[in-house]
Amino acid sequence: KILNEFCNEYVLIGEDRTSLPVQYLQFAEQIKNFEVLNDDIWIATYPKTGTTWTQEMIWMIANNLDFEGGTESLDKRFPFLEISGLFDHEKVFAAIKCEVAKYSSVDLAENQKSRPRFIKTHLPFSLLPDQLRNGTKTPKIIYVVRNPKDACISYCHHGNLMLGWKIDVDTFAKLFIAEKSMYGSFWKHVFGYWEHQDSLNILFIKYEDMKADLPSVIKKVAGFLEKELTDEQVEILAKHLSFESMKKNNAVNGEEFIEQFRKNNLVNEDGSFIRAGEVGKYKKELSPETIRQFDAWIKKNITGTNFENERI
Ligand code: A3P
């Protein structure tokens, strides 16, 4: 069991038996029946794969690089569908002052005033709203994938910083491989969306490609969103999305949130949300034995699938 101040009990939910905090059950039905709109823009990711980075990119492209509007917190501009179901409401509300502690995040996502609505989720495909799963509604969905070893260490640090965990990377990696961490199996998550990318409106992008050539990914996402950007705009946006710029940007760096955790002695590790931003950082953090186990698990999961030749 992961030590977690806010959700000390996990349940296994849905056909993939995804482990989620027991509080999720209060929102499961509402999410299943969520009213999807065809012009919504969704981002779906396994945690720590570059969600925030991509959300900022999507929002900026869809809003014609509205840097002034972008000074509002990303959490408000791009609500996180199920976050209210990840915490014990009373404890979070007592500790931190934020909208998702006070209101249902599902309501906040649903009742956005402007169009298109922007919605972030970490849910696996099997737990998405029915209208998305059965294709009754086909909004644009962008899925970000990242090397699971880097995502895993990033997840561990995030948990120690912002989720009340107290766990070292090698122990956490074992939970991750055993698919017992919050949101369960990394591979079921990836494949759930991968298998539907042709039938539904899903664009796959990779964290590693964003690191290698951000302007190309910006152009790809703009094309998917049916937005035209000049070369100059692509360059300006790439600068705005650079690691250094995002780290300083209080609308996206989560510092306000972390400060409240610090004040309430809920932070078990120094650091920041926009942390290292590197490819292959796991090599410096995981033990050789954990890396060996990780690689065997990756091989077992992708061999024989059409993901086998994807480089992440
Ligand atoms: P690290 O912990 O490896 O640094 P998510 O938004 O899905 O929680 O992902 C967070 C990860 O994305 C963190 O990874 C964070 O540093 C990284 N990230 C955020 N903004 C970034 C940027 N502009 N460039 C590179 N990485 C970024």
Domain ranges of the chain: 10-302
Determine whether the shortest distance from the Cβ of 51 to ligand 1 is under 6 A.
yes
The per-residue pLDDT for 268 is 84
Determine whether the shortest distance from the Cβ of 53 to ligand 1 is under 6 A.
yes
The per-residue pLDDT for 261 is 81
Distance of CA 236 to the CA centre of its chain: 24
How far apart are the C-alpha atoms of 253 and 255, rounded to whole Å? 5
Which tens digit of pLDDT belongs to each residue from 142-169? Answer: 999 999 999 999 999 999 988 888 899 9
H-type alpha helices, the chain: 25-32, 51-62, 74-77, 89-95, 99-102, 105-110, 130-133, 148-162, 169-177, 186-194, 207-212, 214-224, 231-240, 243-248, 255-263, 282-285, 288-302
Which tens digit of pLDDT belongs to each residue from 201-244? Answer: 999 999 999 999 999 999 999 999 999 999 999 999 999 999 99
Which residues are catalytic, by number?
122
What's the mean per-residue pLDDT of the chain? 93
Q: How far is the CA of 54 from the centre of ligand 1 (A)?
A: 9
Instruction: Tell which one of 154, 210, 242 to mutate to probe ligand 1, the residue whose CB is within 8 A of the most ligand atoms.
Output: 154
pTM above 0.90, yes or no: yes
On the question of pLDDT at 66 being above 70, the answer is: yes
Which tens digit of pLDDT belongs to each residue from 73-84? Answer: 999 999 999 999
Position 65, amino acid: L
* Alpha carbons within 13 A on the beta-carbon side of 149: 23
ipTM score: 0.99
Please indicate whether residue 293 or residue 197 has the higher confidence score (pLDDT).
293
Which tens digit of pLDDT belongs to each residue from 267-277? Answer: 888 889 999 99
How far apart are the C-alpha atoms of 191 and 14, rounded to whole Å? 15
Residue nearest to atom 17 of ligand 1 (CA): 277
Q: How far is the CA of 154 from the centre of ligand 1 (A)?
A: 8
Residue 125 — very low, low, confident or very high, per pLDDT cuts 50/70/90? very high
The per-residue pLDDT for 307 is 87
Superfamily of domain 10-302, CATH level 4 = P-loop containing nucleotide triphosphate hydrolases (3.40.50.300)
Position 157, amino acid: H
The residues near 17 (Cβ < 8 Å, ≥ 6 apart) are 184
Report the range of poorest mean pLDDT among 25-34, 107-116, 255-264: 255-264
Residue nearest to atom 25 of ligand 1 (CA): 277
Determine whether the shortest distance from the Cβ of 78 to ligand 1 is under 6 A.
no
Which tens digit of pLDDT belongs to each residue from 106-117? Answer: 999 999 999 999
On the question of pLDDT at 3 being above 80, the answer is: no
Determine whether the shortest distance from the Cβ of 285 to ligand 1 is under 6 A.
no
Q: Report cis status (omega within 30 of 0) of the bond before 116.
A: yes
On the question of pLDDT at 5 being above 70, the answer is: no
The residue whose two tokens read 């480089």 is 311
Say if strands 18-21 and 10-13 run parallel, antiparallel, or are unpaired.
antiparallel
Instruction: Tell which one of 43, 46, 51, 52 to mutate to probe ligand 1, the residue whose CB is within 8 A of the most ligand atoms.
Output: 52
